[in-house]
Amino acid sequence: MNNSEHKLKSNKEPRPPKACGWMAEFENEHDLLHAAEKVRDAGYTKTDAFTPFPVHGIDHALGIKPTILPFIVLCAGLTGLCTALLMQWWMNGVDYKYIISGKPFGITPASIPVSFELTILFSAFTSVLGMLALNGLPKFSNPVFTSAKFDRATNDRFFLYVDATDKYYNRESVRELLSSVDANSLDEVMEDSTPSEMPRAILLGALLLVLAGLIPSAIVLNMRSSFSDLPRWHVFFDMDFQPKKKPQQTTTIFKDGRSMRPQVPGTISRGQLEQQDPFYLGYDPMKVTSLDTDKQIYVSAVDSTAASPSLDATVQPPAASPAGGAPNLPFLDKLPIEANEENIKLGKTKYEIYCSACHGYAGFGDGLVAKRAASLAQDTWAPPSSLHLDRVQKQPVGQIFHTISKGQGKMASYASSITPQERWSIVLYVKALQRSRNANIDDVPVEQRGSLTEPTPSQTK
């Protein structure tokens, strides 16, 4: 604010500007100090000096009291320390516990750096903001700025000021006092009479800026509180779109144009053995000629390109099941395990655990469960087959294995309870049982034939 402006503005004002006090200008800090002491000794307290740099001794010369800023900063520093400790304790020890090498949660020596930094941060900002607050800054309108001479207060001149609000203030006596000191000049400071209202244009501009600033948050709030069918708006893609091919897509990289690649010949996938090896199936899948459940499983499991030539030509409607739903499959007619004593014993054990409850110890279908069901005479009960029936006797070993594995009629699958090896052993034992029911004298070793007795009625049943 310079003088000419001030005069222009003040012409519009109806009353002349009020005087705020006297201001004396000095050449150097020594003259200022002398004058300040004089003014202080005269009893004035509403005084101030304006200097380009802090003049030492001026506080004493003017009677200025020390500032309380250090105590404010101390409080801020302690606040910063507590904030840091609480923050670390709560964030890492309570709200989201990090388990690191079994170390204790909450405050540890690792909390020191952050606590130190926040103590400094709070103190430093409080020093600056506290300094501004205690000095009443920012303050852009000040009576001292009405004088053009005052521009040198930040350059090379020293000013002493006595304010009109001082209780001993008298316009003439202060002027006399300041005239008696060795001042360059003495001026009366006038109040800043420029209009204090904000110009309407600035207010309007500020209002528009505030409103414009609210637009993004309004958009975000609207989006968060409403639903949309559109895909997410990707400001940053993160990893949502990756340059990669998914199954069933086309590609130009490979000759066949498919993004999926066939397996390398000879690859055995996990679980494939169980679906391809006769040992696990009881039949040879490579010889399957009719379309049925097992074949479908098989086809889906085996790589189509490797198996299709032999299969495509032989697709047929499912064959009628000859024996109560048993599938027409190329069952093995030779046991894949050795018929030795060990396997027979294993088969007997497992047969007696799993099969005898229904089929009976000798395989006549007279197990305890069957007897009990027969005594209850329930309509829904389908009695277990005797293993010595003609059609069962004719079954290849693979089919018996298949029956154990998949179940038949009311009989459930035992694949989850009995391992393939044990199932084959059971088959071996069943075959032995069947043979024993139809044995003739030739089956008995010659040296033991003499010990045979006449059959009892129960044995011929």
Nearest-angstrom CA–CA distance, 278 and 298: 12
Shortest distance in whole angstroms from residue 135 CB to another protein: 4
Shortest distance in whole angstroms from residue 20 CB to another protein: 13
Question: Exposed/middle/buried for 158, CB within 10 Å: 0-12, 13-18, 19+?
Answer: buried
| Secondary structure (DSSP) of 256-323 | T-BSS-PPPTT---TTHHHHH-HHHHSB-GGG--S--HHHHHHHHHS-HHHHHHHHHTT--PPPPPSS
41 contributes a contact to another protein by CB under 8 A:
no
393 contributes a contact to another protein by CB under 8 A:
no
Cβ-Cβ contacts under 8 Å for 87 (sequence gap 6 or more): 114, 118
Task: Please name which of 2, 341, 278 lies closest in space to residue 148, comparing C-alpha atoms.
Answer: 2
3 contributes a contact to another protein by CB under 8 A:
no
Which of 227, 233, 236, 241 touches another protein by CB under 8 A?
236
Q: Which stretch binds another protein (CB under 8 A): 110-118, 291-299, 360-368, 396-404?
A: 110-118
Q: How many CB atoms lie within 10 A of CB 444?
A: 13
Which of 8, 78, 120, 209 touches another protein by CB under 8 A?
120
121 contributes a contact to another protein by CB under 8 A:
yes
Q: What SS3 class is residue 152?
A: helix
Is residue 328 a contact partner of residue 293, using CB atoms and an 8 Å limit? no
240 contributes a contact to another protein by CB under 8 A:
no
Is residue 280 a contact partner of residue 273, using CB atoms and an 8 Å limit? yes
339-343's contacts with Cβ under 8 Å and 24+ in sequence apart are: 339/428, 343/424, 343/425, 343/428
125 contributes a contact to another protein by CB under 8 A:
yes
Choose between 125 and 254: whose C-beta lies nearer to another protein. Answer: 125
The encoded tokens of residue 24 equal 């004396």
395 contributes a contact to another protein by CB under 8 A:
no
Count residues near another protein (CB under 8 A).
66
64 contributes a contact to another protein by CB under 8 A:
yes
123 contributes a contact to another protein by CB under 8 A:
yes
Nearest-angstrom CA–CA distance, 7 and 373: 122
Choose between 51 and 349: whose C-beta lies nearer to another protein. Answer: 51
410 contributes a contact to another protein by CB under 8 A:
no
Site for another protein in 153-192 (CB under 8 A): 153-156
Which of 17, 45, 48, 388 touches another protein by CB under 8 A?
48
131 contributes a contact to another protein by CB under 8 A:
yes
324 contributes a contact to another protein by CB under 8 A:
no
Q: How many CB atoms lie within 10 A of CB 356?
A: 18
Q: Which stretch binds another protein (CB under 8 A): 50-58, 211-219, 313-321, 353-361?
A: 50-58
441 contributes a contact to another protein by CB under 8 A:
no
Q: Which stretch binds another protein (CB under 8 A): 84-92, 261-269, 357-365, 378-386?
A: 84-92
Is residue 128 a contact partner of residue 2, using CB atoms and an 8 Å limit? no
Is residue 435 a contact partner of residue 425, using CB atoms and an 8 Å limit? no
75 contributes a contact to another protein by CB under 8 A:
no
Q: Which stretch binds another protein (CB under 8 A): 233-241, 288-296, 341-349, 427-435?
A: 233-241
223 contributes a contact to another protein by CB under 8 A:
no
The whole-angstrom distance between residue 223's C-alpha and the CA centroid of its chain comes to 22
Using CB under 8 A, list all residues that contact another protein.
29, 48-56, 58-59, 62, 64, 66-67, 69-70, 73, 87-88, 91-92, 95-96, 98, 100, 103, 108, 110-111, 113-114, 116-118, 120-121, 123-125, 127-128, 130-132, 134-135, 137-142, 144-145, 150-156, 235-236, 238
